[in-house]
Structure 1
């Protein structure tokens, strides 16, 4: 059995995602992977160019890693329910399910308070597609 590439089959990705708006259309959710000594704040909207506001306190579960290069193990953890995550070093990852957003809100954005970096991994794609046919998430 031949292996299949993951991009287009099980995930889509936006490597530089801080402050950018993305659609959750055709996927069940997104994992934001954030690095840097910073606070990362989640907002949502009902349209790409709409007004972004807090989705409520949806972030409880997170995973942290003391490294940014894969040389340390991930550690699962929780925090008080919030729409923001703060780290002082290393990496933090948190999942946002489309189901956790208020009704009608399907666009998300994670903003860094300073110079933190954000990558967005959209997963559990509803339909498998060739990479040439993936939806443009930032539109």
Structure 2
């Protein structure tokens, strides 16, 4: 799952995982070692590397107000099935789902003609 985080004034976004939607066994997920930063719509993206952490800092300086990072299923602790990204301020977070966790049988997949 990829997360797009925005706030023009800058923000810190914290990643946690849990065993249920209700937050059972919630723990910070310190696996983010890089993310991509941009100055907004239509701008170039810059890769930012960091020591593995549970936070992404979108500093809001020089117009950098959008960050994107991905959390894969392999990064989750055993038994954790849910991921949450929270803003420490008023930033917006959009989750983009990709890759099926459970593969379906080929006969259940749509035929692309």
TM-score by length of 1: 0.65
Q: Distance in 2 between matches of 1:117 and 1:42?
A: 14
User: Displacement of 1:129 after TM fit?
Assistant: 6.8
Figure out how many residues of one structure are paired with residues of the other and give that number.
98
Question: Structure 2: where are the runs of 5+ without partners?
Answer: none
Q: Distance in 2 between matches of 1:47 and 1:115?
A: 25
TM-score by length of 2: 0.79
For 1:41, the equivalent position in structure 2 comes to: 14
Matched, 1:54 2:5: no
- Greater relative contact order (Cα 8 A, min sep 6): structure 1 or 2? 1
Question: Structure 1: where are the runs of 5+ without partners?
Answer: 1-29, 131-139
Cα RMSD for the two superposed structures: 1.8
Show the 5 A alignment for 1:98-117. 98-117=73-92
User: Displacement of 1:74 after TM fit?
Assistant: 1.0
